[in-house]
């Protein structure tokens, strides 16, 4: 699974998120990359996240697609986000301990308060195994700061991510 032409997106320090928290040993520990048009992550889902024996649990697949669409919104649209709705179509089984790739990209941005995003999960043979569409509420960091929704340290780290000041060439 070729990563040429992608840059790693910065992640928040001390993040315990199940999807993208590098400090969450039970989670997916997703790291995200961009080519400027989409956001991707490459991973192998561990066996403890299976549903049926060797197949990744559908809730885990949904989480991966939600995460990649959310990070796409943050990075490409430069907004904080909360998922309003998500629809997932499961097309092929996704197997644990096999290389997969998830991708997110904007589908449309009808106004400044919401975006429609799309996500895809590919297996090692580059076949689409699941696809998702999500509607995401959009917020500026200042709006969240005024509402007191998140800790100031979290908001500052997100501001760095949105500004792209810590992008790393892969």
Angle at 76 (CA atoms; ends 124, 125), nearest 5 degrees: 10
Give pLDDT tens digits for 35-66.
999 999 999 998 888 888 899 999 999 999 99
From residue 67, how far is each of 53, 88, 121, 147, 148 by CA, in Å? 24, 13, 12, 23, 23
- Return the pLDDT at 1: 61
Give pLDDT tens digits for 108-137.
999 999 999 999 999 999 999 999 999 999
What is the CB-side half-sphere exposure of residue 47 using CA atoms within 13 A? Answer: 2
Biggest distance spanned by C-alpha atoms of the chain? 47
- pLDDT tier for residue 20 given thresholds of 50, 70 and 90: confident
Residue count of the chain, please give it: 170
Q: Domain 7-161: state its class.
A: alpha beta
């Amino acid at each position: 699974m070729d990563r040429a032409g992608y840059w790693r997106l910065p992640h928040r320090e001390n993040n315990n998120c199940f999807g993208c928290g590098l400090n969450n040993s039970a989670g997916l520990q997703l790291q995200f990359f961009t080519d400027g048009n989409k956001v991707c992550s490459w991973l192998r889902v561990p066996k403890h996240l299976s549903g049926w024996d060797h197949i990744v649990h559908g809730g885990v697949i949904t989480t991966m697609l939600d995460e990649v669409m959310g990070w796409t919104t943050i990075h490409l649209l430069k907004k904080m986000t909360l998922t309003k709705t998500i629809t997932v179509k499961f097309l092929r089984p996704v197997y644990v301990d096999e290389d997969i790739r998830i991708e997110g990209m904007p589908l449309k941005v009808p106004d400044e308060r919401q975006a429609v995003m799309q996500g895809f999960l590919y297996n090692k043979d580059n076949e689409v195994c699941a696809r998702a569409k999500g509607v995401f509420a959009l917020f500026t960091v200042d709006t969240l700061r005024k509402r007191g929704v998140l800790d100031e340290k979290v908001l500052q780290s997100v501001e760095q991510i949105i500004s792209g000041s810590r992008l790393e060439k892969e």
